[in-house]
Structure 1
Amino acid sequence: MGQPSDLISDLRALFTREMEVVRNQWNRALPFADYIVDRWEKARLLGFGEGSSVYDSALILGNVKVGAHTWIGPFTVLDGSGGLEIGAYCSVSAGVQIYTHDTVQWAVSGGKRGPERATVRIGNRCYIGPNVIISKGVSIGDGCVIGANSFVNRDIPSGMKAWGSPARLRGPVPHPEES
């Protein structure tokens, strides 16, 4: 292994080369780790479904199951400590936080009680907008759309769109052939 300065020079050269490729192909810049960590390989190593991808900046804890062809965006938190299931063909946008536990009772009891945990389930073909927070125990049905910056603390039935803080049902999701 070379001197540290050689390694730093090599990493800088790699960064510059990869950044040029990404900027030319997709007109964007990524955090350094996303140039060297393959999102699809990371998803495969985590046991996610075929064709799924997850950014390196995503924090993944506990038992997280993800279906095929699902995109997990950058700077997400997937807390599977109470069990988390995300279906196939979902888009989980940047900054989404999904929690399957909380420490409310631990805090207010002065540490006498433990964390509370409950599984979160997200169906197939769901879009979860940027910066959405989903609390423990929530189920979101198939084909749902959750608007940006929403706080989801109750179940959302299949085929519905919801947004707000707390998220409220806003009507059915139109099917592409209907629009």
Structure 2
Amino acid sequence: MSERFRAWEAPKIESGRLTRWNWLVQDADNLELGTRTDIGAFTYINAKYGVVIEDDVQIGSHCSIYSASTIDNKQGRVVLKKNCKIGTHSVVMPGVIVGENSIIGAFSFVNRDVPPNSVAYGIPAKVRRNL
């Protein structure tokens, strides 16, 4: 385990306010955050209908995670399973589950579930290989 996670502490999260690390959560009461998570700067999380980020998840900078979308009126809980990684500038849409140990490439648009132990990327994101 890297040195920076040995002293990991849950971040202070206030709905609609930037965290110390410059990411923003709407409806923070509906966010479940695991331990040793790493969320990049300028990431936006809309947790209105629930967002679960399990242990050891990494989210790159400038990502957007939506449990509600006003464009197509979709809503649903988003789950990022243990040890998955979301590449920088990616978007995860409502109702999506990203499986354990999966990797989402940078600049991807994830509008469907990604199975465990997979690599997915693109617009829309597609599974490109298994790990």
TM > 0.5 between the two? yes
| Aligned-residue offset at 1:56 | 3.1
1:166 aligns with 2:131: no
| Aligned-residue offset at 1:155 | 0.3
| Aligned-residue offset at 1:136 | 0.5
The Cα offsets for residues 58-78 of structure 1, whole Å up to 9 and x where unpaired, read as: 011111111110101100001
Structure 2, unmatched stretches of 5+, are 1-7, 14-18
RMSD: 1.9
Aligned partners of 1:129 and 1:157: how far apart in 2? 16
Q: 1:83 aligns to what?
A: 50
Bigger proportion of residues as helix: 1
| Aligned-residue offset at 1:172 | 1.1
The residue type equivalent to 2:56 in the other structure is Y
| Aligned-residue offset at 1:41 | 5.8
Choose the corresponding residue for 2:24, options 42, 49, 59.
59
Choose the corresponding residue for 1:150, options 108, 111, 126.
108
| Aligned-residue offset at 1:102 | 1.1
TM-score scaled by structure 1? 0.61
User: Which structure: larger Rg?
Assistant: 1
The Cα offsets for residues 24-67 of structure 1, whole Å up to 9 and x where unpaired, read as: xxxxxxxxxxxxxxxx6661x34xxxxxxx65310111111111
Aligned partners of 1:128 and 1:55: how far apart in 2? 20
How many corresponding residue pairs? 118
Aligned partners of 1:116 and 1:138: how far apart in 2? 11
Q: 1:72 aligns to what?
A: 39
Aligned partners of 1:159 and 1:64: how far apart in 2? 24
Q: 2:65 aligns to what?
A: 98
| Aligned-residue offset at 1:164 | 0.2
Aligned partners of 2:57 and 2:41: how far apart in 1? 14
Greater RCO, CA 8 A, separation 6+: 2
| Aligned-residue offset at 1:117 | 2.2
